[in-house]
């Protein structure tokens, strides 16, 4: 009896894991299919980091903000991307980035 219940448990677990992998793959490919590399390049070119920036992650945060602005699944997410772009362009230090994210999230209705 125990062996049968263990086999059923394993079968359900394997089916669940397979289903989750399939769903995750669909979401990724759908997002990838919707990407427009021209728009992304234009967004990044229009929002260059501050020339005196000391914090190397500012550039990747700008790319993330462009993605939110271009592909945000809600108006709120798109607004957050726009806000981050405007403020990260002026960021110089790590603290500037933290302040930017806190400011944009708090004015975007997240808190």
**pTM (two decimals):** 0.64
CB burial readout 19-54, b (16+ within 10 A) else e? eeeeeeeeeeeeeeeeeeeeebeebbeebebeeebe
Contacts of 63 (CB under 8 A, 6+ apart): 40, 44
Q: Using CA atoms, how far apart are residues 16 and 69, in angstroms rounded to an integer?
A: 34
User: Do 28 and 64 fall into the same domain?
Assistant: no
- Residue 31: per-residue pLDDT: 62
How many domains would you assign to the chain?
2
User: Do 60 and 86 fall into the same domain?
Assistant: yes
User: Do 96 and 42 fall into the same domain?
Assistant: yes
Which tens digits make up the pLDDT trace of 43-59?
Answer: 999 999 899 999 888 88
User: Do 51 and 100 fall into the same domain?
Assistant: yes
User: Do 47 and 22 fall into the same domain?
Assistant: no
User: Do 52 and 85 fall into the same domain?
Assistant: yes
Which tens digits make up the pLDDT trace of 70-92?
Answer: 998 888 889 999 999 999 999 99
Print the domain residue range for 9. Answer: 1-34
The percent of residues above 90 in pLDDT, for the chain, comes to: 43
Cα of first residue to Cα of last residue in the chain, in angstroms, is 52
């Amino acid at each position: 009896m125990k062996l049968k219940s263990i086999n059923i448990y394993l079968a359900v677990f394997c089916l669940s894991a397979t289903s989750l992998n399939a769903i995750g793959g669909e979401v990724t490919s759908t997002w990838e299919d919707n990407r427009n590399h021209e728009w992304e390049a234009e967004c990044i070119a229009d929002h260059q980091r501050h020339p005196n920036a000391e914090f190397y992650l500012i550039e990747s945060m700008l790319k993330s903000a462009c993605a939110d602005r271009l592909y945000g699944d809600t108006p709120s997410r798109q607004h957050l991307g726009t806000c981050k772009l405007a403020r990260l362009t002026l960021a110089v230090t790590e603290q500037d980035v933290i302040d930017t994210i806190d400011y944009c999230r708090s004015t975007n209705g997240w808190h």
